[in-house]
Structure 1
């Protein structure tokens, strides 16, 4: 569908979509989430692995934007083009769920932040917290219904506004950095004597995935780009800038407080770190910055979620009704379904022991399939030569796509069986949408290979439900 010129996004707006999607709740919880499982050395190794892996993935998105400019909606379109209708559908469903879960984690963290002042909100998963968050969900819903362009403009402004408090945090913490404290924390210190370096690094992997989710933001919005070349460049610029912020926030915190103290901080733990340097006003400052940051990221992810459902419906892998737009060009039915799922997940947090950590790790687990299929598609193109001139070299693209695919596959192992099974609980019943889409267009529902994949997904979901029912899997 051809978009009117006023709907097209320039490079700064696309870059803001990437940064706005990545910089949300995760960066504000890094000191505590890293402090729980590793010291400074493990953190450095984790960021080196995550940075290298995600850089390869960023290169993959850049390559695919150049080699396959006709494919819109990023992760969904690449998975479908490379591996067929059902894997493409699973990628779209997984990415949509990631956006919804990420938004749930944002509301939980906002209410946890307010819980420091108003105990009624607790750790973000009390009845009062869920009720107030529900009001916020639907306020954003009606804002977005007024038009994608207006919402994207607000996202650009908020992205700039939320980077400022993070930069101020880094300045003050750099001045408060103590080399002797950092030295004690370097190998983990008290409490991690028995934990090997490999276990420490593995414990951070899903956290690093969570803070990088959104790297594909420009690719998902490729149909709005003024120039296709801007998609890859926006992805790289956004990634490199955010990576610097993430590493600095993590490593400087190890020079302010001992690791066990970092691990015991209340989220947003950046507030506790800054308060240790400048006093109580630092906690208030970070808390305000977090609320601005999270609300901005919430807007980005709501846009991305609706866009994925809309694009999948336009490509005939989701039911046709999800392609409906209102007079402002907003896929309003997709948006309604998105916010209903967010509302459902938010209610589930009432029964979770650690609501924010559950949302963080399940979000990270759900994104692995879309990332894995994207990397594998780029690898497939580089191996086959599709999209390349006969005299054009492919070795660089082959190496980068191979490393990106290997990184995504390794993350499945690092995440563990529990969250893999929990993700299948979402993939299996969600496949009903695929069945509806295939039948309403008079197609065979599954090919033999796809049927085998569906049966494997279903078996995993049954196993997960059994684990939940018997208490072997706890949320």
Structure 2
């Protein structure tokens, strides 16, 4: 494929905005209540320390790979494929693509839940009216993106700057409103002090931290559009560090405003409830408007990333070649149509989920951890003789594997239901091309099929809930 023209290349600012825009979205506005339902301040700080360290290692892995392997210009899919073969690349592409789709679903649900604060007919964002309106929004963005990647990335940059303003205002007001007695009571959050309590709180929180960091690879996925190759690594690390600071401040400072039970009882977006407790009703309105701008920009970022990954897999014959089709503006239009069709399907399924937003959030984390694990393991494979990078890659590999296990069997089983169709499609496509599965690949396919069968039985029998 020929390189993009200057009109379609992305600057360092635009690449950084893709990273920040992908990470700052629906998750950060739900953090106060999401953390308070699971942990106090000590557990939150330890969870952020673990997640921050693990994700920093992963950011450094992406930075290193962008320098070591500049020819691999499709990011997360290309690294997995180069390291472990076509099937691993396919699993990485499918997992990341579906994770992006689920993240978009979470964005759409939270938009409608936010409107539900002012228009009760929208409820919690998962009723019929909400799904209809979300569908209209979905297809509106679809036709916007079809106009061009450069144009969409420019809008994303504007949205990223706009979303930082309400977050900065929130931090300023909450710093001034922190009450020392409330903060002290929330150190353990009302639970009995001790190591067992701390470990339980941290374990229940870690998968949440994965969701808000998903998007760290945004610059890497779009590296083929980078004006300068070295900008990819810079954008990844700079974007990560800035977002990490914001996430920690939003989470910890909220514990100084309301007691943990009151924080946990806030409806989404819970940041609006914290702001209302500090500044009054106008504060909730202000944060809600900021959330709408933020989530719309976040949705745009995820749509761009999802279509690009699917398109890249098709270009490398991991998926049917038809998915590599582009329109006159250079947009992977066929992949975009399939992506938004799947998002529409997930929106319909969310109607049947008891806690649709939380399910979308957790499933996004579970789906994207497999691609992250494969990327980290590829860097570890390349770093056999480089001691410093070997330790960083080893840490990133251990962290992503541990997060998969920390999430529990429920999300692993549900993930297998989503991975299996893509794996079977790849198997059929490879047979069509005359390719043969290796024994290890056949074993993985069989394991996926077995897990999916268990998940399907669990859903039918009621033992596994959405």
TM-score (norm 2): 0.98
- Verify the 8 A CA contact 1:25 1:109 in the aligned structure 2: yes
Residue 69 of structure 1 and its aligned partner are, at CA, apart by: 0.7
Match of 1:431 among 423, 426, 434: 423
Match of 2:445 in 1: 454
2:42, 2:244 → 1: CA distance? 17
1:439, 1:327 → 2: CA distance? 32
- Verify the 8 A CA contact 2:191 2:197 in the aligned structure 1: no
2:464, 2:158 → 1: CA distance? 42
Match of 1:352 in 2: 353
Match of 2:183 in 1: 182
Residue 192 of structure 1 and its aligned partner are, at CA, apart by: 9.3
Residue 107 of structure 1 and its aligned partner are, at CA, apart by: 0.6
Cα distance change of structure 1 residues 4 and 437 upon mapping to structure 2, 3 Å threshold: farther
Cα distance change of structure 1 residues 193 and 62 upon mapping to structure 2, 3 Å threshold: closer
Residue 432 of structure 1 and its aligned partner are, at CA, apart by: 3.1
- Verify the 8 A CA contact 2:56 2:240 in the aligned structure 1: yes
- State the Cα deviation string for residues 187-228 of structure 1 (Å, max 9, x = none): 111699997111100111111000000000000000001111
Match of 2:267 in 1: 266
Where in structure 2 are the equivalents of 1:243-262 lying within 5 Å? 243-262=244-263
- Verify the 8 A CA contact 1:38 1:192 in the aligned structure 2: no
Residue 119 of structure 1 and its aligned partner are, at CA, apart by: 1.6
Match of 1:119 in 2: 120
Residue 442 of structure 1 and its aligned partner are, at CA, apart by: 3.0
Residue 75 of structure 1 and its aligned partner are, at CA, apart by: 1.1
Which consecutive residues of structure 1, in runs of 5 or more, have no partner in the other structure? Answer: 386-393
- State the Cα deviation string for residues 316-364 of structure 1 (Å, max 9, x = none): 1111000010111111110000000000000001000000000000110
Which consecutive residues of structure 2, in runs of 5 or more, have no partner in the other structure? Answer: none
- Verify the 8 A CA contact 2:314 2:320 in the aligned structure 1: yes
Match of 2:391 among 383, 399, 416: 399
1:194, 1:220 → 2: CA distance? 40
Q: Give the 3-state SS of the residue equivalent to 2:383 in structure 1.
A: helix
- State the Cα deviation string for residues 106-137 of structure 1 (Å, max 9, x = none): 11111111112222111100000000000000
1:105 aligns with 2:80: no
Cα distance change of structure 1 residues 191 and 102 upon mapping to structure 2, 3 Å threshold: farther
- State the Cα deviation string for residues 371-399 of structure 1 (Å, max 9, x = none): 1001000000011x5xxxxxxxx111000
RMSD: 1.3
Match of 1:8 in 2: 9
1:341, 1:173 → 2: CA distance? 39
Match of 1:390 in 2: none
- State the Cα deviation string for residues 116-174 of structure 1 (Å, max 9, x = none): 22221111000000000000000000000111111000000110000110000000000
Equivalent residue pairs, number: 465
Where in structure 2 are the equivalents of 1:34-433 lying within 5 Å? 34-189=35-190, 196-383=197-384, 385=385, 394-433=386-425
1:188, 1:175 → 2: CA distance? 21
- State the Cα deviation string for residues 25-69 of structure 1 (Å, max 9, x = none): 000000000000000000000000000000000000001111111
Q: Give the 3-state SS of the residue equivalent to 1:429 in structure 2.
A: helix
1:119, 1:211 → 2: CA distance? 27
1:368, 1:107 → 2: CA distance? 22
1:72, 1:414 → 2: CA distance? 32
Residue 180 of structure 1 and its aligned partner are, at CA, apart by: 1.1
- Verify the 8 A CA contact 1:368 1:408 in the aligned structure 2: yes
